[in-house]
Structure 1
Amino acid sequence: MQSDHNASPVNPLPPVVVALFLMMAGVELAFSLGARGIVGGPGAIGWRLEAIQTYAFSGDILDWMLATGQYPVRHLMRFVTYPFVHGSFSHAMFACVMLLALGKMVGEALGQMATLAIFVVSGIGGALAYGLALNDPVPLLGAFPSIYGLIGAFTYLLWLRLGQMGAQQIRAFSLIGILLGIQLVFGLFFGSGNDWLADVAGFAVGFASSVALVPGGLARLLDRVRRD
């Protein structure tokens, strides 16, 4: 048996995942360096706050748009910009790690455009759920609703695989169950906001999107529902 000595020891990440990671990490790097006075001068200390005010999603602004019927681009863009603005370095770092892990698995299974679509629509779905279901003045920021969308996609892929193996498909939901359990524990001990609702909505949108993106996925799901 011959081996390819020139092959990479690790499978490369899908380029779209690398691009998303670089955008998230680049924004956070600028905030962190600016806060330490390394770049940008004295005004850079407020970069994070300015970005939150300009690019984070706001439920109050959504209420204003629905009430007035006005939808300026500078506010609509918040649906797709808020995942790239985080509250702290650790917040962004954890999001980047999860993006690389889940983006690789979903990207290799569904392709780059499908992965990007799931990331974007899950973020939008999470923001809509946060803005419509709650009356919370705290802005929504960070990539976790979009990342939970990738978890939803991964869950659907695992659900299909377990079905093909004849195993219990409910096991596919163990990851989301563990993550929500961790969030609950942290919320009890350290306090938590309402952004968990955006995460759950992102997961649901990611799962549902995967049904349409996987070839034959919708027909397979309908067949399963009929048999149940």
Structure 2
Amino acid sequence: MQDHDIAPINPLPPVVWLLVLPMIGIELVLSLAEAGMIGGRAAIGWRVAMLEGFGFFPDYWRQQAQAGAFDFELLRRFVSFAFVHQTTMSALFGVVLTLALGKFVAEVFAGWAVALVFVVSAVVGALVYGSLVQSQPLFGAYPGVAGLIGAFSFVLWKGLSRMGPQPQRAFSLIGGLMAIQVVFGLVFTLLPKLFPSMGPMPLGWDWIAELSGFFCGFGLSFVVSPNGFASLQARLRQR
């Protein structure tokens, strides 16, 4: 007998909305501003101002760190960069990936664990990125999304989902993501050489933050997954 009260689309966990609503709200305002629908002429520069105010800038971080100035203005950028994007398309992909991966991980992990994986992976991704990249700023949800991919991979690897144990698929998402990054890197490197009139194209180093975020999310899952902390304690006691 069919249950007609069942929703046609499974509702998203509240924690997933908590992560994506700031991205959606910010991008909606910036898109309307760029379309000239709000803010007047001054609104054209809102995206630049938002990126400058909330993005992660390696040079700024190193200067402040060397001076010992670990203030709120510096520390919040390790998280805030994940909610602002350079383009509407980048924001759209960030929101969609966060929704999809967040929903899947939240079916296994507690809500607080999903949020922790996203935020800590973003922080670790920015920290590693800032330590290795000289001046290129970091924006967007992708290091946090990579952390969710790490948690997703952990779920498949441990066979915690209803999909059953599928170790061969556990690392397919991050492999695909890194392959895309390599392709884009080659394109950005080769196109200016083939077509000099295009001028130099900036080579993206975001993959450093994303790969770091993936390993952070995967490693953190050993602790925040169901019974993960108890299992970790048991292993440490055995040693």
- Quick one: distance in 1 between partners of 2:112 and 2:86? 28
Which of the numbers 122, 134, 140 marks the counterpart of 1:142? 140
Describe the shift of the 1:167–1:84 C-alpha distance in structure 2 as closer, same or farther (beyond 3 A). Answer: closer
Which of the numbers 167, 170, 173 marks the counterpart of 1:172? 170
| Correspondence for 1:43 | 42
- Quick one: distance in 2 between partners of 1:167 and 1:6? 32
Question: C-alpha displacement at 1:182, in angstroms?
Answer: 1.5
Which of the numbers 180, 189, 192 marks the counterpart of 1:182? 180
- Quick one: distance in 1 between partners of 2:104 and 2:165? 21
- Quick one: distance in 2 between partners of 1:111 and 1:215? 8
Describe the shift of the 1:222–1:133 C-alpha distance in structure 2 as closer, same or farther (beyond 3 A). Answer: farther
List aligned pairs for 1:59-78, cutoff 5 A.
59-78=58-77
Instruction: Report the TM-score when normalising by structure 1.
Output: 0.90
- Quick one: distance in 2 between partners of 1:222 and 1:201? 27
The one-letter amino acid paired with 1:189 is V
| Correspondence for 1:214 | 225
| Correspondence for 1:24 | 23
- Quick one: distance in 1 between partners of 2:71 and 2:45? 25
Residue 144 of structure 2 is aligned to residue 161 of structure 1? no
The number of aligned residues is 222
Question: C-alpha displacement at 1:17, in angstroms?
Answer: 0.7
Matched-pair contact (CA < 8 Å) for 2:223–2:232: no
SS at match of 1:22: helix
Describe the shift of the 1:114–1:168 C-alpha distance in structure 2 as closer, same or farther (beyond 3 A). Answer: closer
1:47-106, Cα deviation, whole Å (9 max, x unpaired): 110011110011112111221111121121101100111010111011111011001001
List aligned pairs for 1:102-117, cutoff 5 A.
102-117=101-116
- Quick one: distance in 1 between partners of 2:130 and 2:137? 9
- C-alpha root-mean-square deviation of aligned residues, in Å? 2.4
Describe the shift of the 1:167–1:24 C-alpha distance in structure 2 as closer, same or farther (beyond 3 A). Answer: closer
- Quick one: distance in 2 between partners of 1:208 and 1:38? 45
Question: C-alpha displacement at 1:222, in angstroms?
Answer: 8.6
Residue 208 of structure 2 is aligned to residue 197 of structure 1? yes
Matched-pair contact (CA < 8 Å) for 2:105–2:148: yes
List aligned pairs for 1:93-108, cutoff 5 A.
93-108=92-107
Question: C-alpha displacement at 1:167, in angstroms?
Answer: 6.2
Deviates more, 1:183-192 or 1:95-104: 183-192
Give the fraction of aligned pairs with identical amino acids, expressed as a percent.
45
Describe the shift of the 1:212–1:86 C-alpha distance in structure 2 as closer, same or farther (beyond 3 A). Answer: same
Deviates more, 1:186-195 or 1:101-110: 186-195
- Structure 2, unmatched stretches of 5+, are 190-202
Matched-pair contact (CA < 8 Å) for 1:17–1:103: yes
Matched-pair contact (CA < 8 Å) for 2:109–2:226: no
Question: C-alpha displacement at 1:214, in angstroms?
Answer: 1.4
Matched-pair contact (CA < 8 Å) for 2:36–2:43: yes
